[in-house]
Homo-oligomer: A and B are copies of this chain.
């Protein structure tokens, strides 16, 4: 490949990075403005936790902190309300006494499932109102890209090329 991935390509990447950052911030602000993506009384952080527990079974706070890219303390704060609400449980690790396993309860599953049904949130209506079926497909791809970036593993020396 000639100069395709040269300086111009790089600049485009930087441009995309800035645009993505700004877009991320604006949508987040809008979601706050519309107060409540969820209407369940739980924050997105807490729902993200439920999401992980649902998909990947019982996990420790440390594991959750790693996958969510926050500190253990932040996880603990999300865990407390969820536990109080009976959506998750905490129990001892079978072999390692230091660890506490966090798991989702049937009630937690039900709440998460009901979220996937709730059609009254602002975001759901916004998607329905602004997107064609083709856009919807693109949105699914977009979510995958965001998740991939969130979990990107930039090994030691980034090979610039």
Chain A contacts to B: CB under 8 angstroms = 10-33, 37-38, 44-45, 47-48, 51, 68-70, 115-119, 121-131, 135-136, 138-143, 145-152, 154, 158-160
Contacts and interface: CB of A to CB of B under 8 A. Distances in A.
Chain A, interface SS category: helix
B149 A126 contact: yes
A45 to B, nearest CB: 6
B148 A17 contact: no
A47 to B, nearest CB: 6
Contacts of A145: 131, 135, 138-139, 142
A46 B48 CA distance: 27
24 contacts: A16-B139, A16-B140, A16-B143, A17-B123, A18-B47, A18-B115, A18-B116, A22-B51, A25-B45, A26-B69, A26-B147, A28-B28, A29-B70, A30-B149, A30-B151, A30-B152, A32-B69, A33-B69, A33-B70, A122-B154, A126-B149, A129-B159, A138-B142, A139-B145
Nearest to A124: B17
A98 to B, nearest CB: 24
Contacts of A140: 16
A129 B143 contact: no
Contacts of A129: 152, 154, 158-160
Shortest beta-carbon contacts, A-B, top 7: A142-B142, A26-B150, A23-B146, A29-B69, A126-B152, A27-B150, A17-B123
Given A31-B21, A150-B26, A14 B118 contact: yes
A160 B124 CA distance: 11
